Each structure stands twice: as C-alpha cells, then as structure tokens.
Amino acid sequence: MNADDFGLTAGVNRAILELHAAGVLTSTTLMARGGAADAAVKAALGVPSLGVGCHVVLVDGEPALEPSRIPTLVNQKTGRFRDSLNSFLMRLFSRRISSEEIEAEASAQIALLRAHGLRLTHIDTHKHTHMFPWVLRPVLRAARKAGIGAVRNPFEPVWAVRATAGASWARCAEVSALRRLESACRRVIEEEEFATTDGTIAVVGTGVLNRETVRSLLKDLPEGTWELVTHPGYNDADLDKVRTRLRGSREVERVALDAVNEFPGLDLINFGELMNFGGLAAPEKRVAES
C-alpha cells in the first residue's frame, strides 16, 4: 500500500507514519515542496523500512525551480503551477508545455529530496499527470538520472472499478476513458527500462475509500503485483489551509486501512522490493502500498 502526499501537512505525515508502524502501509511518495516536507524527510530518514518515492508535482503546488526557468509550467502572476488539471492538460495537448521544463522541474524535486540523504524507491505524480506520455517520458528521464528505476502504473483495471462502491459515475467514466492511454504508457515504461506494477487500485476510490471498499478490493485481488493508492491523514487546521478536495475522507481512509490486517495472505512490499521481481506479475498476490 502506498500513501500519496507525504509532506503535505503534519497531520498527513502523522497518519502515514502511524499506518507504517501498524504494519499496513509499506510505501509513500513525498511532495518535495509540501508545507511539511522537511518534517517528512526527517521522519523518513528515521524509518528506513518505509519505502519513499518522489511525488512529482506539476499542478496545484509550488515549483522547486525559479518560475523564470519553467515559464510554460507556471502562472507568471503567481509563480505557482496552475491550480487546475484541466488548464494543465489544455496547454499540454496544444503543445504549450515544454518537455524539457518538465524534466528539469522533476529533476529539481528529486534532487531536493536526495540532498537530505533519502534513497528514493520510485516516482509518481500528483493527480497522475504521468499517465500522459508527453509527461511520462521526461519524468522517467529525470528519475533515471537520479538512479530511480520504478514508477507507478496509474491505470486501474475494470475489476477494481467495479469493486469500488460509492465512486461517482463521472469518476468511473473518466478512469475508463483514460485507460486508452495504458498501452502507450506501458510502451514508454518498457523503452525507458523501468519497473512497474500490474496496475493501481482505489483510483476511483479516492475520496470514498472506506473499510468495506478496502475489503472488497482486496477480496477480489487477482495474482500479480498491485499498488493500493491511498490518501490518509488527519483533518486538522493545517489541512484547512491547503487547497484539496480530500478533507474528511482522509480520516476515513486512515481508519479503513486497518482492514488490510484481515488479509494475511498478502505479501506487502514497497517499490524498492519491486525491482527484485523484475517489475512483472509474480505468482503471489502482492500489494505495493502507497
């Protein structure tokens, strides 16, 4: 299981560390420019059993580079990335975003974390922007230069979407439509020689992931290596200051993940261990937790 947004707030950091200590979460991805990133790095260095990747942010956040160095990625008035994913995608599809700037910014975020001594296990992106090949390739190139060899497969299989009660029809339709990009992304991942999983589950469950849904997903889990993506946290004053649609749901997810203990047959790993399996489906059911 992998938790996104490590470094976002103190409450998110606390939840991730508690879940790892409880044995139900093995991996996380850290936001290099998150408001609580320094505390997350310090905590991670003290818990080497927790796999830590870089959660590359290209939308709705602060860049690592000076805005003048990445003019196609930022709002020139604010110096921040564009708040809207739709705005980012419109610029991406119209070729108004530079792949060189994506690679440079991803490299800078990775470098910020490595400068503190973190050994990063993998790479993924905020809002799964790397599912688009025009983002994926420069992000992978940045990761490879830093010695990172694993990446999230951001596509959710049909069976997992069906096993997620409570997900909105619009979200399910969006995930289903985006699945058309999977073959192209897998081709890029193979060409760049990165390891990845068979897929990610609980993508449509973001915001509605409760205990029963965790049970439903893990009960139906086929053989292979899967990432269960989660967003746990504490809904505190720090979170109130952050632009996010995930507030009360972080508390629900934090409590719900205890249901993992009901499935002792799962082999819980992090992305560093994924490299030992060659990034391919293995005969056992494995969950790379996020």
pLDDT at 212: 96
- Token pair, residue 1, equals 């299981």
pLDDT at 18: 98
Domain count along the chain? 1
Q: Rounded to whole angstroms, how far apart are CA atoms 165 and 216?
A: 9
Give me the domain span that covers residue 154.
Answer: 2-289
Q: Rounded to whole angstroms, how far apart are CA atoms 250 and 19?
A: 13
pLDDT at 36: 96
- Token pair, residue 15, equals 């939840």
pLDDT at 134: 97
pLDDT at 122: 97
Q: Rounded to whole angstroms, how far apart are CA atoms 287 and 256?
A: 16
Q: What is the CATH number of the domain that holds 213?
A: 3.20.20.370
One digit per residue, the tens of pLDDT, for the chain of length 290 reads 899 999 999 999 999 999 999 999 999 999 999 999 999 999 999 999 999 999 999 999 999 999 999 999 999 899 999 999 999 999 999 999 999 999 999 999 999 999 999 999 999 999 999 999 999 999 999 999 999 999 999 999 999 999 999 899 999 999 999 999 999 999 999 999 999 999 999 999 998 999 999 999 999 899 999 999 999 999 888 887 776 666 678 899 999 999 999 999 999 999 999 866 544 433 346 665 54
Other beta carbons within 10 Å of 264: 6
For the chain, what percentages of helix, strand and coil (3-state, to nearest 5) are there? 45, 15, 40
Q: Which amino acid is at 29?
A: T
- Token pair, residue 131, equals 């599912």
Residues 90, 95, 98, 99, CA torsion sign: positive
